[in-house]
Chains A and B, each alone.
Chain A
Amino acid sequence: MPEITYLEAIRQALWQEMKRDERVFLLGEDIGRYGGAFGLTHGMLDEFGEERVLETPISEATIVATAIGAALLGMRPVAELMFMDFVLLSLDQLANQAAKMHFMFGGRATVPMVVRMPGGSGSGAASQHSQSLESVLMQFPGLIVINPSTPYDAKGLMLSAIRNPNPVCFVEHKVLYKMKGEVPEGDYTIPIGVAEIKRPGRDITVVANNVMVMKALNVAEKLSKEGIEVEVVDPRTMLPLDTETILQSVARTGRLLVVHEACQTGGWAGEVIASVVGSPIFDYIDAPVRRLGGKDIPIPYNRILEKAAVPQEADIEQEIRASVEGRI
């Protein structure tokens, strides 16, 4: 199987789906001649032309609204927001409009659209270009929030997202763009709303998303040599969240750590933990459940401070050890 990057995997999904379905088109800032701020749509303007790779003015709210209007008329728009932080400029259209249309209109409207947004820290882009806002988006039923952690998942989930009849927020992670992995050249989809156990283990369940999956897997590999077997669960879809897979995993391991880059207060770790401790699985828990979120601060510019603001492998390792060794 060919190895390609996370970025290339997403481009491949867009490319193949545009070939397959003429209703699919791209819109966003600098996605044409520039090829996208991260180069993700490089080459697509030449291949598909200006009508299907639509460069827009800097108008994030109207970019999302344009996708909504076109989706209502049966198109399959894929909008790009250059940075996830900019979703806040378009949140009325996503949260008050797209998310609620199917419901508010009594099931008579569908809004099949995808909004891509690269989030996360690690690129030195400071406070307004580094946020992880998936927990914010999880507050809007009607939206689907996808958060792939590997090239393979990115392609399969993107194909599912475009074919889904609901508005989908496709949250990419900037640091993962260069990550390489095996990706089939052909068409395949990954089901939305289904978590995956990325590594099985008997001692503790670590639930992590996007870049934290990679970090958790590295830690798991290291601890395995000491006989500590970590199970890494990747929700892949944040909304709707597959709590069932998480509950089953915790029932097996008896221990839970949730890791995310999003700020800890109000972060989705709280949601996962509440669903575990509030379920019959609680009887199987052997140690206090733990969470490791980003610090409750804006992401700083300085490289050292930026790293310290979000969980690193050493932090994850420390949390796992504390749980397994029975420390509070």
Chain B
Amino acid sequence: MSKDKGKGSEKDIGSHKLFDKRVKQLKMSDDSLIGLYRTMCTVRHFEYMADKLYAAGKVHGTMHLSAGQEAVAAGISLAVQPDDYLINHHRGHGHFIAKGADINLMMAEFLGKDAGYNHGRGGSMHIADFQSNNLGANGIVGGGIPQAVGVGLALKMQKRKEICVCIFGDGAANEGVFHEAMNMVALWKLPVLYICENNKYGMSMDVDRAVAKLPIAQRADAYGIPWACVDGNDVVEVYDAMKTAVEHIRSGKGPYFVEAITYRYFGHSKSDRNLYRPKEEIEDWKQNRDPIMRFTKHLLQSEIIDEGQAQEINAQAEQVIIKAVEFAEASPEPDVSTLMEYVYA
């Protein structure tokens, strides 16, 4: 993986030759490619539905939507095993869906219902599924980064083959614990894959004004951790990098760091009026670099699916989300008599 990727995403748009070459090199089956497409469509529908539900007053509080970033979530999920651990950030819906979370339970949690993953105690920012080694999202920026040290340490102590995938944003990379944790995972050669999902803005602060030296991933050099910086809107490139990283980690060589450059379409959260970035920039990413649009184009050109199948998969994904909303809306609210539960185990 070359280290100057990420900036050159434009040149790769439509470079179908490169797509074909990569797919062949990586021995990706049609099924796995279609799977990626399905995952990305599902995430996109979840996020737009979430926005719709909020506008309709069915969700309160805040939420952080990942529309535009689907290729990162999908690319990671294909490179790891289902029992690998996941520590996630606040913009986490996509990663949970890609990890195979039950979308009904996610949606129920999103609506604060008792049937939700967290019995309505967590909401969008804290969805977790401990049965599938999904250790949850975090409302504190960077909060999960040092916890991955402990998960990696336990995996090593217990002599297990799983790894810990820890995802965070460009903003989190400026928290102090980022450096503490990088040092410790490297020192102890822990099986941790750190993924910086750089969507270019930490709330309103653009990464050029927040990070002294880019790419963020080069900071890994300071700790002797191998790294790559990739076009996060190219799902195959993401998969390629993650596959390399996972192989490195699983062979016992210690941690790996991947930065994926991507872009979010919605604002940071619900209070965001997008005053800090030009409309043209958002439109440019949507029209010219959209990860689903790019991937669909390649799939059609390689005749892995045809137009009709693409539409069908997309429609099926939408149905999954609609059904999840029906499930969530039909679920009861938590009973107030249970308010004091779950404080202590």
Contacts and interface: CB of A to CB of B under 8 A. Distances in A.
B136 interface: yes
Interface in A47-79: 51, 54, 56-57, 59, 61-62, 65-75, 77
B150 A106 contact: no
B343 A51 contact: no
Q: Kindly state the interface size class of chain A when it binds its partner.
A: 35 or more
A62 B342 contact: no
B171 interface: no
B187 interface: yes
A92 B140 contact: yes
Contact of A105 (B136, B149, B150, B154): B136
A140 to B, nearest CB: 10
Contact of A97 (B143, B149, B345): B143
For the residues of A in contact with B, the DSSP-based class is: mixed
B345 A56 contact: no
B139 to A, nearest CB: 8
B157 A51 contact: yes
A57 B184 contact: yes
Interface string B118-139: 1111100010111100011011
A97 B140 contact: yes
Nearest to B154: A73
A69 B140 contact: no
A179 to B, nearest CB: 30
Interface stretch (B173-181, B257-265, B304-312, B322-330): B173-181
B158 interface: yes
B129 to A, nearest CB: 8
A25 interface: yes
Given A65-B149, A65-B150, A142-B344, A59 B136 contact: no
Interface string B285-302: 000000000000000000
Contact of A106 (B147, B184, B342): B342
B150 A71 contact: yes
A215 interface: no
A75 B343 contact: no
Contact of B150 (A72, A92, A142): A72
B120 to A, nearest CB: 8
A99 to B, nearest CB: 9
Contacts of A111: 345
Given A102-B342, A103-B343, A70 B150 contact: yes
A131 interface: no
Contact of B119 (A97, A101, A106): A106
Contacts of A327: none
A106 B116 contact: yes
A52 B135 CA distance: 24
Contacts of B210: none
Nearest to A93: B146
A62 B116 contact: no
Contacts of B149: 62, 65-66, 69
A302 B133 CA distance: 53
Interface of A: 25, 51, 54, 56-57, 59, 61-62, 65-75, 77, 92-93, 96-97, 101-112, 141-142, 144, 165-166, 240
Interface of B: 85, 87, 116-122, 126, 128-131, 135-136, 138-140, 143, 145-155, 157-158, 164, 176-177, 180-181, 183-184, 187, 341-345
16 contacts: A57-B183, A61-B180, A62-B180, A71-B150, A74-B154, A96-B140, A97-B147, A104-B118, A105-B117, A106-B122, A107-B119, A108-B117, A108-B128, A108-B130, A144-B344, A166-B345
